[in-house]
Amino acid sequence: MSKQREIGGSCSNSSPHGIPASVSQPGIHDHLALERDKTISDFGDQWTRHQKNTGRYASLEQFEDIVAPFLSRTDFQHQRCADIGSGTGRIVRMLIDAGAEHVTAIEPSRAYDVLVLNTADVSDRVTCLNLRGDELPPKDYGVVVSIGVIHHIPDPKPVLEAAFRGLKPDGTLLIWVYGHEGSQLYRSIFLPVRMITRRLPVLINEAIAAIIYPVTVAYGRLTALIPFLPLRRYMQEVYLRFDPPVRRLVILDQINPQWAKYYDREEIETLVRSVGFVDVRLHHRHGYSWTVIGRKPE
């Protein structure tokens, strides 16, 4: 496997200190940099403790559920792809299983070592880089994906600009983010909890996730009996299809990171268009999140 460990390297949309230049006011500039670095650290702690991807969570079926209705597994065959925010390599493995020719996997946290380990058996088709998303090297990718990552980046525009530069003409960007629409119940419960948990170490948050878990599963099963309950589609079509360890991990993933944002349709569409993507389309996935696709003009 091609491996490169470069942290805070320079690129055209970063200041000499590696902070996105799109943030101009010094106070906001410093605050967002701290939030970014703390979030990266949180994910490093999380993914070094939870290294395995199993069952439905790691399956091509789950991948197709994420990229639908715009793409299917066949759209990745023979493509040179990049995955921004690779974590433990779950999406990288999905891309390889879907037939990608090569995947450049970008991971800024110390989970990079887990990523390398989890993709070692496909080392001839994966290049792992210990970089932030805004440092993605341009390689004429056919497809750039970022699944569940953009909403954890305080200033995501430089990352999307890097994706735009990295794509070949007519190349495709696909991202998945938390949605504001349809998540009111979830946000009313978890946002107050996050005010506390994002300041706690991952070990304590694991214990909190274990406490929340049985209540979450009970609610999920109740949605099968009462169809109009909020988040029914997510519970029935996504969450309850995961095995128990993954369900607990999903809860941890909600309460542990420093930064998380819930995008409304107009906001995420405007953001993607603002860096130059055209033919931008959105899908309200399972009624609680957004799958977004865009094309780099020829």
Domain that residue 243 falls in = 184-255
Q: Are residues 114 and 136 in the same domain?
A: yes
C-alpha closest to that of 248 among 59, 54, 87, 41: 54
Q: Are residues 102 and 241 in the same domain?
A: no
Q: Are residues 280 and 229 in the same domain?
A: no
- Into how many domains does the chain fold? 2
Phi-psi category of residue 226: left, alpha or beta, with phi > 0 → left and psi -120 to 50 → alpha: beta
Q: Is the dihedral of CA 28, 29, 34, 37 positive or negative?
A: positive
Q: What gap in Å lies between CA 110 and CA 130, rounded to an integer? A: 8
Q: What are phi and psi of 289, to 5 degrees?
A: -150, 175
Q: Are residues 191 and 282 in the same domain?
A: no
Q: Are residues 161 and 271 in the same domain?
A: yes
Tens place of pLDDT for every residue, the chain, 298 residues?
Answer: 444 543 333 233 333 223 343 444 556 778 999 999 999 999 999 999 999 999 999 999 999 999 999 999 999 999 999 999 999 999 999 999 999 999 999 999 999 999 999 999 999 999 999 999 999 999 999 999 999 999 999 999 999 999 999 999 999 999 999 999 999 988 998 899 999 999 999 999 999 999 999 999 999 999 999 999 999 999 999 999 999 999 999 999 999 999 999 999 999 999 999 999 999 999 999 999 999 999 999 9
Q: What gap in Å lies between CA 87 and CA 108, rounded to an integer? A: 9
Q: Are residues 147 and 70 in the same domain?
A: yes
Q: Are residues 100 and 166 in the same domain?
A: yes
Q: Are residues 164 and 240 in the same domain?
A: no
CA angle (153, 238, 80) in 5-degree steps? 55
pTM for the full model? 0.89
* 150 lies in some domain: yes
